Amino acid sequence: MEPRMDAGTKKTRKLRNSQSFKDHVSGYLYIAPFFILFGIFTLFPILWSAQISFYSWNILGNKEFIGFQNFIWLLTDDPRFWKAVGNTFTLWIISTIPQLFFALVLATVLNQSMLKGKALFRTAALIPNVTSLVAVAVIFGSIFGTHYGILNWLLSQLGFDKFNWLASYWGAQFAVALMVTWRWLGYNAIIYLAALQSIPSDIYEAARIDGASRVQQFFNITIPMMRPIILFTVIVSTVGGMQLFVEPMIFAGDQGGSKGQVLTMVLYLYTTAFTNNQFGYASAIAWLMFLIIVAFSVFNFYLTRKINSAD
Amino acid sequence: MKKLGIMLMSFVLVFSLAACGGSAPAENAGGETTDSGGQKQVTLNMWLFTGTGLEPLVDQYMKENPHVKVNIQAQEYADHHNGLVTALAAGSGAPDISMVEIGYLDRFKAEENNFHNLANFGANDIMGNYLDWKVVQASSQDGSFIFGLPTDVGPMAMMYRTDIFEQAGLPTDPAALQEKIKTWEDFITVGKTVKEATGKPMVDSILSVFDVVKGQKNEHYFDSKGELIAGTNPEMKKAYDFAVRVAQEGLSANIAQWTPEWGAGMNNGDFAVMLSPAWMMGFMKGNAPDSAGKWNVIQMPEGSGNWGGSFLTLPKQGKNAEEAYKLISWLLSPEMQLENFKTNGNFPSTPSIYDSEEIQTFSDPFFSDAPVGKIYAEAAQKVVPVYYGPSYVIANTPITNALGEVQNNNADPEAMWKDAITQIERELRR
């Protein structure tokens, strides 16, 4: 019902007392807590960071307006930023692809009817996801240690030289990607498992009657039926991958290694803001990062539509 | 009726959430009330980082001065300093007293108006109690503004493994070894001997050598006017080249500090010496228990060095500066620093007590009963004052990254140096 502004006071009062008006008010009150918090803690900082990205500001001193200079430097003369962008994408690729592939394999195994102790395995699959990140990074740091790491011990048992994982480019990337994969593998597997279980069994039955092999069933029934869920996990992993921060920071320090082996976009943003105290430049990084993620999401969306309409 | 109840509830929820932001500072703000005795009741807020050992002394102060109540909030090192930066930038929430470590001090120094000048409270009368170089650190360039009173210092000495030195046929007696390692050149010679005889590298990492050699120079990356001299200061390049040489001679174990491998390396004797400040003794005992009794101590070649050490400052947002000053001047007096040394091992910044019985006779079986108290007291008086500058971290990081690349990946040191200087210039203009 539309409130009528030209009505008299008597009518307004009547309107205010009316049930539907009260419903409106209580409706807004219900959603108010979210929007108030969103406004204070999300919307305001976003807009404010847009403003300070045009300044040179060390947080304690005066802000100095420098126009687009921060963005010009970022785009034309900051190899570390582009290294961070590159690292974020390579780390995303080498962690997400194996992660989703093995999650699907794991889900299929967990879905087998002959498997005993399903609940136990399903819980175990989710444990890495709820383990404290700092603990994970410390353990992985010990695994990949040069002198006393388990991995190097194994290598030396097999007759290979000790390898400085952290110092080499691909070594460090591999270690961080493995950390991410280990952490999210079970989470994605549980989601896939739920999807697997929602596929009606009569479809498989029909396929079996028609003489389809297990592999044929997997590629012609399971994968197509799970397409929306796979897309969901791709999107979630993309969001997570673009924001990769804690693992490289704890594994390689806030510089992401001495040549920035695992320096990611967020890690670069963090050091610029909180180690160097250059908040204007850090805000500019944040906005450029935002644009990169938007571009990537548009590409993702396009790909999603394409896959969804494949058949 | 039911609807009204729900509406009320959502109101309450909204306001309680909104109040979350507001109520905390109100509780933290220092208050002054007058108690029945007539003496002004004062609450002081004090921010420390963990491990300062000051808490029991503050308790003692509260007992002796019942009108003062101190709320201590101790956080982890980086969180503590970031919290202070945030509070100062926000304009409210900073405590009456805040600890600031030397690594962060120059950043705060650049913003004088956020702190009380302790000279206004009579700090000039007591600054003579503290080590000269520490007073320089605590004051503005011209000495007119005093940011904080010095807490502990981190003078450096050289801990060496007697078992490895013996194996290498080198003297294990400190006096004899000191004769052999008088200069950094000697250090390399001895290092080569150790390497040839035992196969063990001399140091954990070239970064620790770089820090000490650099620390013996007055000027690092910035001159006293704040101009960047990293690329032109010959002393800086010398320190860099020396660290590179240590790597190229194979005298570094390539173990990064503060990693689990570092403690294991100390414990197992993977490197022959530790360049360590006084406060490192506790860390070594905790992380390398099997190496007990295998260490002995000599002075650093060509002087000493300092690693760490802090100051107690009075942020302007605090409400009870007078009382806060009374507390910190008591807390950091020579007598109390000696107490802190006895209980927590923090090395005092007040040379008047260096001759005291407690420091002169302080020794530890872990370090072969060497007179470590005496050695560190001597080292503390040899430290040279350094001008750091507010952007010290920004300038230092690319250089240490370059050294890391030289050490780990055999990168070309000259090219790395040039890249690092470019990177410093790039980061400083922002």
Partner A, chain B 38-97, Cβ-Cβ below 8 Å: 82, 85, 88-89
Phi, psi torsion values for B360, nearest 5 degrees: -60, -35
- Return the closest-CA partner of residue A263 out of A243, A249, A275: A249
| DSSP 8-state class, residue A41 | I
Q: Classify residue B1: in a domain, yes or no.
A: no
Residues B219 and B130 in one domain: no
* Contact with chain B for residue A36, Cβ under 8 A: yes
Residues A20 and A128 in one domain: no
Distance of CA B96 to the CA centre of its chain: 22
The parts of chain A modelled with pLDDT lower than 70 are 1-13, 308-311
C-alpha dist (Å) from residue A59 to A179, A194, A273, B109, B110: 34, 48, 9, 14, 12
Question: Mutual orientation of helices B55-64 and B334-344 as an angle, nearest 10°?
Answer: 130
Strand residue runs (E) in B279-409: 295-298, 306-313, 347-348
Residues B147 and B158 in one domain: no
* Contact with chain B for residue A145, Cβ under 8 A: yes
Question: Taking CB atoms and an 8 Å limit, are B10 and A145 in contact across chains?
Answer: no
Residues A183 and A36 in one domain: no
Q: Going by DSSP bridges, is the β-strand pair B97-101/B306-313 parallel, antiparallel, or unpaired?
A: antiparallel
Six token digits for residue A67: 């126009």
Give the number of C-alpha atoms closer than 13 A to the C-alpha of residue B414, restricted to the C-beta side. 0
Q: Classify residue A64: in a domain, yes or no.
A: no
Looking at residue B28, its pLDDT comes to 41
CA distance, residue B75 to nearest chain A CA (Å): 17
Helix or strand holding residue B69 (H, E): strand B68-75
Looking at residue A162, its pLDDT comes to 86
**Within a 10 A sphere around the Cβ of B91, how many other Cβ atoms?**
9
Q: How many domains does chain A have?
A: 2
Give the number of C-alpha atoms closer than 13 A to the C-alpha of residue A207, restricted to the C-beta side. 16
**Cα–Cα distance between A276 and A262 in angstroms, integer?**
19
Looking at residue A310, its pLDDT comes to 60
Q: Classify residue A273: in a domain, yes or no.
A: yes
Which residues of B fall within a CB distance of 8 Å from A166? 256, 408
Residues B259 and B207 in one domain: yes
**Cα–Cα distance between A134 and A124 in angstroms, integer?**
19
Which residues of A fall within a CB distance of 8 Å from B265? 147
Inter-residue contact B319 to B29 (CB < 8 Å): yes
Residues 6+ apart with CB under 8 A from B262: B204, B255, B256, B287
Inter-residue contact B211 to B305 (CB < 8 Å): yes
Q: Classify residue A58: in a domain, yes or no.
A: no
- Return the closest-CA partner of residue B267 out of B247, B293, B249, B244: B293
End-to-end C-alpha distance for chain A, whole angstroms? 45
Residues B257 and B190 in one domain: yes
Residues A91 and A154 in one domain: yes
Question: Taking CB atoms and an 8 Å limit, are B111 and A32 in contact across chains?
Answer: no
* Contact with chain B for residue A67, Cβ under 8 A: no
Residue A33: which domain range? 9-52
Looking at residue B18, its pLDDT comes to 42
Residues B50 and B132 in one domain: yes
| Nearest CB to B430; choose among A26, A148, A281 | A281
Question: Taking CB atoms and an 8 Å limit, are A30 and B405 in contact across chains?
Answer: no
Residues B54 and B181 in one domain: no
Q: Tens digit of pLDDT for each residue in A160-185?
A: 888 999 999 999 999 999 999 999 99
* Contact with chain B for residue A297, Cβ under 8 A: no
Interface test with B, best of A28, A72, A259, A262 (most B CBs within 10 A): A259
Please name the residue that has the structure tokens 């206004």: B120
Question: Taking CB atoms and an 8 Å limit, are B6 and A26 in contact across chains?
Answer: yes
Which residues of A fall within a CB distance of 8 Å from B111? 60-61
Q: How many domains does chain B have?
A: 2
Residues 6+ apart with CB under 8 A from B403: A258, B206, B207, B210, B240, B243, B244, B247, B416
**Cα–Cα distance between B120 and B118 in angstroms, integer?**
5
| Nearest CB to B430; choose among A22, A32, A278 | A278
Largest interatomic CA distance in chain A: 93
**Cα–Cα distance between B212 and B126 in angstroms, integer?**
30
Residues B228 and B345 in one domain: no
- Return the closest-CA partner of residue B116 out of B311, B354, B393, B249: B311
Residues B296 and B332 in one domain: no
Looking at residue B23, its pLDDT comes to 37
Residues A42 and A108 in one domain: no
Question: Taking CB atoms and an 8 Å limit, are A258 and B405 in contact across chains?
Answer: yes
Task: Say which CATH number the domain at B335 has.
Answer: 3.40.190.10
* Contact with chain B for residue A37, Cβ under 8 A: yes
Six token digits for residue B282: 């506790």
Looking at residue B38, its pLDDT comes to 54
Q: Classify residue B178: in a domain, yes or no.
A: yes
Looking at this protein, which amino acid is placed at residue B56?
A: P
Six token digits for residue A274: 């909180």
Residues B228 and B342 in one domain: no
ipTM: 0.83
Which chain A residue has the Cα nearest residue B19? A37
Residues A123 and A242 in one domain: yes
Phi, psi torsion values for B222, nearest 5 degrees: -125, 145
Question: Mutual orientation of helices B55-64 and B321-331 as an angle, nearest 10°?
Answer: 120
| DSSP 8-state class, residue A56 | E
* Contact with chain A for residue B24, Cβ under 8 A: no
**Cα–Cα distance between B392 and B230 in angstroms, integer?**
10
Task: Say which CATH number the domain at A267 has.
Answer: 1.10.3720.10
Residues A144 and A201 in one domain: yes
Six token digits for residue A109: 């195994």
Residue B39: which domain range? 14-153+309-357
Looking at residue A302, its pLDDT comes to 85
Q: How do the pLDDT tens digits run along chain B, 430 residues long? A: 455 555 544 544 444 444 443 333 333 444 445 444 557 899 999 999 988 889 999 999 999 999 999 999 999 988 899 899 999 988 899 999 999 999 889 889 888 899 999 999 999 999 999 999 999 999 998 889 999 999 999 999 999 999 999 999 999 999 999 999 999 999 999 999 999 999 999 999 999 999 999 999 989 999 888 899 999 999 999 999 999 999 999 999 999 888 888 999 999 999 999 999 999 998 899 999 999 999 999 999 999 999 989 999 999 999 999 999 999 999 999 999 999 998 888 899 999 999 999 999 999 999 999 999 999 999 999 999 888 888 898 999 999 999 999 999 999 999 999 999 999 999 999 8
Looking at residue A142, its pLDDT comes to 86
CA distance, residue A215 to nearest chain B CA (Å): 47
Residues 6+ apart with CB under 8 A from A114: none
Which residues of A fall within a CB distance of 8 Å from B420? none
Question: Taking CB atoms and an 8 Å limit, are A274 and B14 in contact across chains?
Answer: no
* Contact with chain B for residue A60, Cβ under 8 A: yes
Residues A79 and A45 in one domain: no
* Contact with chain B for residue A275, Cβ under 8 A: yes
Q: Classify residue B375: in a domain, yes or no.
A: yes
How many contiguous H segments (helices) and E segments (strands) does chain B have?
18, 9
Question: Taking CB atoms and an 8 Å limit, are A29 and B261 in contact across chains?
Answer: no
